[in-house]
Chains A and B, each alone.
Chain A
Amino acid sequence: MNRREFLKTGAIGLGGLLGIKGEAYPSETKEFYGMLVDTTLCIGCRSCEKACSEVNGLPKNLEGNKELSTDAFTVVNKFKIDNKEIFVKKQCMHCNQPACASACLVKAMHKTQEGPVIWRGNKCLGCRYCMIACPFDIPKLEYNNLNPRIRKCEFCFERLKKGEKPGCADACPMEALIFGTRRELIEIAKERIYKNPDKYVHHIYGEKEAGGCGWLYLASVPFEKLGFPENVGETPYPEYTKEFLYSVALIFLIWPSFLVGLHRALKKEDEGD
């Protein structure tokens, strides 16, 4: 276990420890919204970046955005594979069971019922555990701000509440981004793979990664070549600490009370004699 992994596990564990309420998410009653990104359709026009900047009031520095930052919630990167240009959009994946929300001590990171993972500034401590916990390395802190905020894609939650599509999906001229409920999108993705088995890699990135993500990707080349992290695994991140956290409750609450009870019982017998 290297330092980063240790911190990650620790962060998730500690976060869960302070926030134990036995909360069961995702809620089964309501469907999560998601987005399907068909990278075979993307032409790299970066309309989504532009729309994102407009919607979120970010500076419009369209040149040279290669990585996510506090000023860029989404970036489109070009990958040249076999003389073919493939463009991949990157942003928060909006996991079904987000590691960031699990790690957050004060529930500032919150998975909403609709699906977006949002950051609530009035609760945040600024501990940056979410940054360490995220397997996709998404949340970014404003280091150069006196009152720093965590910045990341919030799935245009405000627009969603109004019944509008997220800005990027609205702007995409190729409709490479399809917005809908996660269940519908998986159906569409599977149908596309089934109908064009030669065109697509037979895998939907995000269907099972990190326990399922809101954003799903289709591609014509293996995903590890397109900069997607491979070692994410299929276990939801909160699962890693669940057993440990239950044992905490057991040891610190049930075991002492059991011992106290035993002590009392034995004491009474002593007095009786």
Chain B
Amino acid sequence: MFTKVFKVFLFVFPIVAFVAGIPDRIRVGKVSFSHKRHIEKIRNCQKCHHLDYQNPQACNICHGKIGNILKSKEAHLKLCLDCHKKENIVTSCGACHIKKKEKPIEMADIVIGSITFSHKKHIKISCSKCHHKDIPQSCKNCHLKPEELNIPKLKGAYHQQCILCHKVMKGPIGCRDCHIINAKCKSQNAKLR
């Protein structure tokens, strides 16, 4: 699997495409590795691509082939875990090795009142556009502080986020395009009143 992935890199992304062709996400078995986020955080390619970072080699050219060098599995464990421990990032197995049964979070539809937000349709946009803090967290953590005047409250935050982007991307901007009134939310509204 590693060879396949990295061979593709070797042939498809020569130095010319180096700048443009860096993959955002690499899927290796159960692990979905966000290349982009690690580039943003580490800013040092040689940390992982320690031979020649401009022509990344497949890991198992050496790891697992040459006797006194760590096996591929151990090498990744060491490389990832050591750094994660050092930087205080999640170290639980499930954080990286996502079981196939679990629905990846990107696909979940989110229902807020009368709105059903399709994550699927918005997947082309970078996550950080909406999840602007490092770790995805509840919007309410910041967007519900009455004393912070410059941070919009929930109503304003959602509307600003959606409508301003829809204006640029030519998405629907009519009220009823997103607020689909059905029996369920009518009863919810009645409760709120």
Contact = CB atoms under 8 A, between A and B. Distances in A.
B150 A191 contact: yes
A175 B152 CA distance: 7
Contact of B159 (A173, A180, A185, A188): A173
Nearest to B163: A43
A184 interface: yes
A180 B149 CA distance: 7
Interface range on chain A (Cβ under 8 Å from partner)? 10 to 19
B163 A174 contact: yes
B149 A45 contact: no
A192 B155 CA distance: 20
A176 B174 CA distance: 18
B153 A188 contact: no
Contacts of B157: 175
Given A41-B160, A45-B175, A173 B155 contact: yes
A177 to B, nearest CB: 9
Contacts of B153: 175
Interface string B148-180: 011011011101100110000000010100000
A188 B155 contact: no
Interface string A187-209: 01001100000000000000000
B150 to A, nearest CB: 5
Interface SS of chain B: helix, strand, loop or mixed? helix
A178 interface: yes
Interface in A148-202: 172-175, 178, 180, 184-185, 188, 191-192
A188 B149 contact: yes
Contacts of A43: 159, 163, 173
A173 B149 contact: no
B163 A172 contact: no
Nearest to B153: A175
B150 A175 contact: no
B74 to A, nearest CB: 47
A251 B160 CA distance: 60
B108 to A, nearest CB: 25
Contacts of A175: 152-153, 155-157, 159-160
A189 to B, nearest CB: 10
B175 to A, nearest CB: 7
B149 A178 contact: yes
Contacts of B175: 45
Interface of A: 41, 43, 45, 172-175, 178, 180, 184-185, 188, 191-192
12 contacts: A41-B160, A43-B159, A43-B173, A45-B175, A172-B156, A173-B155, A173-B159, A174-B163, A175-B157, A178-B149, A185-B149, A188-B149
Interface of B: 149-150, 152-153, 155-157, 159-160, 163-164, 173, 175
